[in-house]
């Protein structure tokens, strides 16, 4: 039924598996991963990922987060550094300092943070908009 050539063949995954901290799990210390991380438990420490960090509704992190993208439904206190997009769901509660490129906040989310948005520079207003025109006036 099966040929010998198919026996013992190892299938390699092209996508890294996501890490998961389940509800009722408490971690004190730092977490570093190249893969995505989902946290439904509690973390006291720093979390760093080369991918996405998701804090579920029951999740809580007190520390520093560094990641590419983040989706937060739970609670976060500390410093949050997101290279691309931060999405806050309606149940999210954020306190601390945030540096992000893009920010999405659903109605109901508590966002009590100092926020710095990086990316496109803010250009000064055109003088014709900022100052009334003086055309037509003679001295």
List the chain pLDDT tens, one digit each, 139 residues.
Answer: 555 555 555 555 555 578 999 999 999 999 999 999 999 999 999 999 999 999 999 999 999 999 999 999 999 999 999 999 999 999 999 999 999 999 999 999 999 999 999 875 545 555 444 445 555 555 5
What one-character DSSP code corresponds to residue 12? P
Q: Say if CB 34 and CB 51 are below 8 A apart.
A: yes
The residue assigned the tokens 């250009």 is 123
Of the candidates 34, 62, 38, 59, the residue with the CA atom closest to the CA atom of residue 49:
34
Instruction: Name the residue ranges covered by the structural domains of the chain.
Output: 17-114
Burial of 49 (0-12, 13-18, 19+ CB in 10 A): buried
Q: Say if CB 69 and CB 54 are below 8 A apart.
A: no
The model carries a pTM of: 0.74
């Amino acid at each position: 039924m099966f040929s010998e050539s198919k026996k013992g063949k190892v299938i390699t995954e092209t996508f890294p598996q996501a890490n998961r901290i389940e509800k009722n799990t408490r971690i004190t210390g730092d977490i570093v991963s190249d893969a995505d991380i989902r946290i439904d438990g509690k973390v006291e420490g720093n979390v760093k990922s080369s991918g996405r960090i998701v804090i579920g509704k029951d999740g809580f992190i007190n520390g520093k987060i560094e990641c590419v993208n983040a989706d937060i439904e739970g609670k976060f206190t500390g410093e949050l550094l997101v290279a691309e997009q931060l999405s806050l769901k309606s149940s999210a509660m954020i306190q601390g300092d945030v540096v992000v490129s893009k920010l999405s906040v659903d109605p109901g989310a508590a966002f009590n943070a100092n926020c710095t948005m990086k990316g496109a520079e803010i250009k000064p207003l055109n003088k014709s908009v900022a100052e009334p025109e003086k055309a037509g006036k003679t001295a």
